[in-house]
A and B are shown apart, each in its own frame.
Chain A
Amino acid sequence: MSENKAFTLDAKPIEFQDGDTIMDAALRAGAYIPHLCHNPEFEPHGSCRVCVVGVNGRRVSACTQPATEGLEVENNSEAIKQERRALLQMLFVEGNHVCPGCEKSGACQLQAVAYYVGMLDPHFTHFFPRRLVDASHAEVAIDFNRCILCELCVRASCDVDKKNVFSISGRGIGSHLVINSPSGKLGDSDFSVNDKAAQVCPVGAILHKHTGYDRPIGERLYDRQPISVVGDVAEHEGKDHG
Chain B
Amino acid sequence: MAEKIRLATASLAGCFGCHMSLLDIDERFLELVELVEFDRSPFTDIKTIGECDLGIIEGGVANEENVEVLREFRKHCKVLVAMGACAINGGIPAMRNQFELRECLEESYIDGVGVVNPHIPDDPEIPMLLNKVHPIYEVVKVDYFLPGCPPSADAIWTFLTELLAGEPISFPYTQIHYD
SS of B interface (majority): mixed
SS of A interface (majority): loop
Contact B173–A226 (Cβ < 8 Å): yes
Residues of A near B178 (CB, < 8 A) are: 99-100, 105, 111, 114
Contact B95–A98 (Cβ < 8 Å): yes
Contact B95–A121 (Cβ < 8 Å): no
- Give chain A interface residues in 65-119, CB to chain B under 8 Å: 92, 96-102, 105-106, 111, 114-115
Contact B90–A101 (Cβ < 8 Å): no
Contact A96–B98 (Cβ < 8 Å): yes
Interface size on A, residues (CB 8 A): 29
Q: Which of these, B90, B146, B149, B173, contacts A115 with CB under 8 Å?
A: B173
Residue of A nearest to B138 (CB): A125
| Residue A239 CB within 8 A of the other chain | no
A239 to chain B, nearest CB (A): 22
B80 to chain A, nearest CB (A): 13
B149 to chain A, nearest CB (A): 4
Given contacts A115-B173, A128-B132, contact A100 B138 (CB under 8 A): no
Q: Give the CA-CA distance A69 to B129 in the complex, in Å.
A: 61
> Across the A-B interface, how many residue pairs have beta carbons closer than 8 Å?
74
| Residue B55 CB within 8 A of the other chain | no
Interface size on B, residues (CB 8 A): 28
Q: Which of these, A123, A128, A224, contacts B98 with CB under 8 Å?
A: A128
A131 to chain B, nearest CB (A): 7
| Residue B66 CB within 8 A of the other chain | no
| Residue A173 CB within 8 A of the other chain | no
Residues of A near B146 (CB, < 8 A) are: 120
Q: Give the CA-CA distance A228 to B130 in the complex, in Å.
A: 41
Given contacts A98-B91, A126-B89, contact A120 B145 (CB under 8 A): yes
Given contacts A106-B179, A120-B145, A131-B98, contact A126 B135 (CB under 8 A): yes
Contact A122–B135 (Cβ < 8 Å): yes
Residue of A nearest to B97 (CB): A128
Q: List 30 A-B contacts (CB under 8 A).
A: A96-B95, A96-B98, A98-B92, A98-B94, A99-B85, A99-B149, A99-B177, A99-B179, A100-B179, A105-B179, A111-B177, A115-B173, A115-B176, A120-B146, A121-B137, A121-B147, A122-B88, A122-B135, A123-B137, A126-B135, A128-B94, A128-B98, A128-B132, A129-B98, A130-B99, A131-B98, A223-B174, A224-B173, A224-B174, A226-B173
